């Protein structure tokens, strides 16, 4: 695999084998079988949205690789005073060796990448969260040894970044992915992204509105927050999505050894209950840990190490 110099903006941009090789590298680096280093390299971390896991995992990862990470906030840089994303990108490319950005809009990320002469990693936008899905797939492979042939049910709001990347990534690696959501356009997968994912999928991708049918015999149940930052219709969303809560009763309809996933932060008592997220089926904190390992593998791969 040679992906040196490429951007990592969406899993649609990568072949199945390339994704598998990054995950295999992450597993080997985690176990210590393979040692990679980025001495004296600098990661620029550009944040428009707040973060816990993204900032810490990237910063710790770069430190462990022997490099350095710089935190950049829109509000405390010239971006907050009107400098264009393009100009900022051109300048950061002169200082840093690689960039990651957590932005509201995918279009802004594309602008950043188009102006950059160094690799840019998508650390979350409105449309995609590829690093999280890479960590999720790595975790499932660790727990089950494979992804091909598994059934993945994503419950709740399926019209945003986390469901998009889950559909793309897991179906590319051969899983059957079911988006389980209310029958309202706001909660259903983006048609354009859904069609693009289906063209690349090795597994089936379907949409289901009945939560019990959706999780029936599922090997993986995935959920995420119902109300994201900036969404003002919280009360209505919670009412619409209540039947899709991941609780013990719903989990009982899945495979007996089903794995339950959540990218965090969790709103306990809304999209998931305490007894599930803290229960025997949960691998939530394993996937959170694996953000560190898979992002290290992505960085060294993009930098050709």
6: exposed, middle or buried (Cβ count in 10 Å: 0-12, 13-18, 19+): middle
Q: Tell me, yes or no, if 53 is annotated catalytic.
A: no
**Strand arrangement of the beta sheet that strand 205-208 belongs to:** 205-208, 176-180, 151-155, 220-223, 259-262
Report which of 214, 207, 223 is spatially closest to residue 254, judged by C-alpha positions: 214
Q: Tell me, yes or no, if 136 is annotated catalytic.
A: no
How many other C-beta atoms are found inside a 10 Å radius of the C-beta of residue 30? 18
Q: Tell me, yes or no, if 291 is annotated catalytic.
A: yes
Confidence at 234, pLDDT banded by 50, 70, 90: confident
Q: Looking at the predicted structure, is the pLDDT value of residue 233 above 90?
A: no
Choosing from 96, 131, 163, 263, which is the catalytic residue? 263
Report which of 111, 112, 130 is spatially closest to residue 122, judged by C-alpha positions: 130
- Ordered structural domains, the chain, with CATH: 11-128+291-302 (3.40.50.1370), 132-287 (3.40.50.1370)
Q: Tell me, yes or no, if 132 is annotated catalytic.
A: yes
Point out the least confidently predicted range of 11-20, 30-39, 142-151, 220-229: 220-229
Choosing from 7, 53, 129, 293, which is the catalytic residue? 129
Choosing from 48, 106, 132, 270, which is the catalytic residue? 132
pLDDT for 203: 98
pLDDT for 230: 58
Structure tokens at 140: 């499932």
- pLDDT tens for 118-142 read 999 999 999 999 999 999 999 999 9
pLDDT for 229: 61
Q: What is the DSSP letter of 221?
A: E
pLDDT for 183: 97
Choosing from 157, 176, 224, 240, which is the catalytic residue? 224
Contact 63, 69 (CB under 8 A): yes
- pLDDT tens for 175-184 read 999 999 999 9
Choosing from 102, 237, 262, 293, which is the catalytic residue? 102
pTM above 0.85, yes or no: yes
76: exposed, middle or buried (Cβ count in 10 Å: 0-12, 13-18, 19+): exposed
Choosing from 7, 262, 281, 291, which is the catalytic residue? 291
Report which of 101, 155, 89 is spatially closest to residue 130, judged by C-alpha positions: 101
pLDDT for 232: 60
């Amino acid at each position: 695999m040679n992906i040196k110099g490429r951007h990592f903006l969406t899993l649609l941009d990568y072949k199945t084998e390339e994704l598998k090789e990054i995950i295999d590298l992450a597993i080997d680096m985690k176990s210590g079988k393979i040692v990679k280093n980025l001495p004296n390299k600098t990661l620029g971390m550009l944040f428009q949205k707040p973060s816990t896991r993204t900032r810490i995992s990237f910063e710790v990862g770069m430190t462990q690789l022997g490099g350095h990470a710089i935190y950049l906030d829109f509000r405390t840089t010239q971006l907050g005073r009107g400098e264009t994303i393009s100009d900022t990108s051109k300048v950061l490319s002169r200082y840093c060796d690689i960039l990651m950005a957590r932005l509201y809009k995918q279009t802004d990320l594309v602008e950043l990448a188009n102006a950059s002469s160094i690799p840019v990693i998508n650390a979350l936008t409105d449309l995609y969260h590829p690093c999280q899905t890479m960590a999720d797939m790595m975790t499932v492979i660790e727990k089950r040894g494979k992804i091909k042939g598994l059934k993945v049910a994503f419950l709740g709001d399926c019209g945003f970044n986390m469901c998009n990347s889950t559909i793309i990534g897991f179906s590319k690696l051969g899983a059957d992915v079911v988006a389980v959501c209310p029958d309202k356009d706001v909660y259903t997968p983006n048609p354009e992204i859904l069609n693009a994912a289906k063209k690349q999928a090795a597994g089936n991708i379907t949409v289901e509105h009945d939560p019990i049918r959706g999780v029936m015999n599922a090997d993986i149940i995935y959920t995420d927050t119902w109300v994201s930052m900036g969404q003002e219709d919280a009360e209505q969303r919670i009412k619409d999505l209540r039947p899709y809560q991941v609780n013990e009763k719903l989990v009982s309809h899945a495979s007996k050894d089903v794995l339950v996933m959540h990218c965090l932060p969790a709103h306990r008592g809304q999209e998931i209950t305490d007894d599930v997220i803290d229960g025997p089926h949960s691998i939530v904190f394993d996937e959170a840990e694996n953000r560190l390992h898979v992002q290290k593998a992505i960085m060294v791969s993009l930098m050709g190490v």
